[in-house]
Structure 1
Amino acid sequence: MSFSAVKEYFKQFNMEDRLLEFPVSSATVELAAIALNCEPCKIAKTLSFLTKDDKVILIVTAGDTKVNNHKFKTFFSMKAKMVPADRAEELIGHAVGGICPFAVKDHVEVYLDESLKRFATVFPACGSSNSAIELNLEELYQYANAKAWIDVCDIKESNV
């Protein structure tokens, strides 16, 4: 995985010491929430999609959301098609379980979903299945080199 690439990326901002590594997996929203002792909704999960011409779109969204296919198609003018797990590292620079918006390949476009705006800080992964960093939304936008805030996700209904 590419934790070292993300750490190197954050060195230019003197922020590498803010990266967190865990002795347990944080590869899913649920596992990350346990590792960080926080609510799953505060995990900033990064979803990866392929465009028609094999470029990659990353959408960073709150941990309690799912993509709304209609909103996605309206915004991107295409149907949502996830990056195959076996191509993630090749296309993005990070493998599944550690996909994040930092230190990605040049052709990758990053968007932040409006669902994150409910929180002062969130926890995106940092290139491995046992890492994260706490960032406020301004920092996330800046360090992810985000193109825009978008609204393509819905909050999942609770089973409670």
Structure 2
Amino acid sequence: MTPAINQLKKLKIAFSTHEYEHDPQCVNFGEEAAEKLNLDPASVFKTLLVTDDKNTYVTIVPVTGTLNLKRAASALGVKKLRMAEVKDAERLTGYLVGGISPIGQKKRLVTCIDQSAQTFEKIYVSGGQRGLDIGLSPNDLSLACHNATFADIGESK
């Protein structure tokens, strides 16, 4: 059990778990999950931490695209954002990069989910370790992330 799974059970949120054999050579974790689990890559989302040097935020975008830092800053009500350092992301979430779940993090962080998530009945995010994804509805993900907001923060590659 990961903290993400424990949190979902505690909140009584319906979810499914999807495990696959993670290739240690692979660094495109989300794309690997989509391929190995035979999922629509647009429904698989990655968790990225960003900072304005005062606060750190969680952003959730499709693995098929990238995070638009300007739009994310606007959605989060800050002037400018940059990607958080790996060590900070791991320390704040309690997860290792490649397995950072937006759910059950050590520290409660303000979270924003790309609005494209709302076009799916079920989306997939990391379950808290490499090789484990969780499937759940976008609204349930928002609830599990302490009422995360939806905004246009992603862009196609």
What TM-score, normalized to structure 1?
0.82
Measure the CA separation in 2 of the matches of 1:134 and 1:17: 5
Aligned match of 1:12: 10
Look up the SS of the partner of 2:141 in the other structure.
helix
- Superposed CA deviations along residues 43-65 of structure 1, whole A, max 9, x for unmatched, are 11111112321x32111122222
In the other structure, the counterpart of 1:59 is: 59
* Unmatched segments (≥5 aa) in structure 2: none
**For residue 82 of structure 2, what is the aligned residue in structure 1?**
81
Identify which range, 16-25 or 111-120, moves more after superposition.
Answer: 16-25
Give the superposition deviation at 1:17.
7.5
Query: CA separation in 2, counterparts of 1:44 and 1:19?
Result: 14
Counterpart residue identity of residue 154, structure 2:
C
Aligned pairs, how many? 153
Closer/same/farther in 2, CA of residues 35 and 77 from structure 1, 3 Å limit = same
Which amino acid in the other structure matches residue 65 of structure 2?
T
- The structure where strand makes up a greater share of residues is 2
Question: 1 CA distance for matches of 2:3 and 2:68?
Answer: 32
Change (3 A) 1:144 1:72: closer
Mapped to 2, the partners of 1:127 and 1:64 lie a distance apart of 20
Instruction: Sort the Cα spacing of 1:78 and 1:94 in 2 relative to 1 into closer, same or farther, 3 A.
Output: farther
Question: What secondary structure sits across from 1:149 in the alignment?
Answer: strand
Alpha carbons 1:48, 1:58 under 8 Å: kept: yes
Distance 1:122 1:78, change over 3 A: same
TM-score scaled to structure 2, two decimals?
Answer: 0.83
8 and 46 in structure 1: CA distance in 2 versus 1, 3 angstrom threshold: same
Aligned mates of 2:35, 2:129 — CA distance in 1: 16
Q: Percent identity?
A: 22
Say if 2:16 and 2:136, in contact at 8 Å, map to a contact too.
Answer: no
The change in CA–CA distance for 1:61 and 1:146 in structure 2 (over 3 A counts) is farther
Shift of 1:97: 0.3
Say which is worse superposed, 30-39 or 144-153, in terms of deviation.
Answer: 144-153
2:107 maps to 1:109: no
1:11-30 aligned within 5 A? 11-14=9-12, 18-25=16-23, 28-30=29-31
More deviation, 39-48/61-70: 61-70
SS in 1 for 2:81: coil
Secondary structure in 1 matching 2:127:
coil
Structure 2 matches for 1:120-131, cutoff 5 A? 120-131=121-132
Find the counterpart in structure 1 of residue 33 from structure 2: 32
